[in-house]
Amino acid sequence: MISAGDFRNGVTFDMDGNVLQVVEFQHVKPGKGAAFVRTKVKNVITGAVLEKTFSPTEKFPTAYVERKDMQYLYNDGDLYYFMDMESYEQEPIDKSKLSDNFKFVKENTEVKVLSYKGNVFGVEPPFFVELEITETDPGFKGDTATNATKPAILETGAEIKVPLFLEPGDRIRVDTRTGEYMERA
């Protein structure tokens, strides 16, 4: 059990059957009245963010979210197959459990599979991935305008904005959290 007075960023707890993670917290001691804890919590399964106020003495059961290293193998329709790096067992995961940033993950990439009480609810790709540009408009000599970008399609099928000097075949580093071009690889 964890009391609301012990909340810190990243703490996960179970409230009314929902698994919540503390995103922000603030202990407030008003001049008049009892102290309270103002929080911003995220439902780790649905992704919804709520603002809630708790009494510092309220207690909740701690929720243990398991983060398991697995390797993405391939997809077959709406099922994506991952291999456990320790037991080499394959586990199919439905497309609905994957986040938007999964479009930057290519086959044989290590990811973190998130589960609670054995139920998978998400897949976390690595923060940075190296991908090859497969399609983009050619750059022209003299295209050096500040921060000018053009659309490019990567080897995974994802489309992002890249600087004008990049061409098909170039390898780049992409931040999967923001979907932005970082640098040449």
The domain that holds 82 is classified in CATH as 2.40.50.140
Instruction: Point out the domain boundary residue: 60, 80, 101.
Output: 60
pTM: 0.72
Whether residue 140 sits in one domain with residue 99 = no
CA distance 174 to 167: 15
Which residue range is the domain that position 100 belongs to? Answer: 65-124
CA distance 170 to 165: 10
Residues in the chain: 185
Radius of gyration (C-alpha) of the chain in whole angstroms: 22
Whether residue 119 sits in one domain with residue 72 = yes
Nearest alpha carbon to residue 122 among 70, 159, 157, 75 = 70
157 and 174 Cβ atoms separated by less than 8 Å = no
| Distance separating the N- and C-terminal Cα atoms of the chain | 46
The enclosing domain of 51 has a CATH number of 2.30.30.30
Instruction: Point out the domain boundary residue: 82, 103, 124.
Output: 124
Neighbours of 1 (CB within 10 A): 8
- Give residue 15's Cα distance to chain centre: 22
Pair of tokens at residue 14: 């179970």
Whether residue 180 sits in one domain with residue 137 = yes
Q: How many domains does the chain have?
A: 3
Beta-strand runs (E) in 127-170: 128-136, 149-154, 159-163
Instruction: Point out the domain boundary residue: 41, 60, 79.
Output: 60
Whether residue 69 sits in one domain with residue 104 = yes
Q: How confident is the model at residue 32 (pLDDT cuts 50, 70, 90)?
A: confident
Q: How confident is the model at residue 142 (pLDDT cuts 50, 70, 90)?
A: low
Q: What is the per-residue pLDDT across 41-96, written as a single tens digit (0 to 9) for each?
A: 988 877 788 999 999 999 999 988 888 999 999 988 889 999 998 898 998 988 88
Q: Is the pLDDT of residue 162 over 80?
A: yes
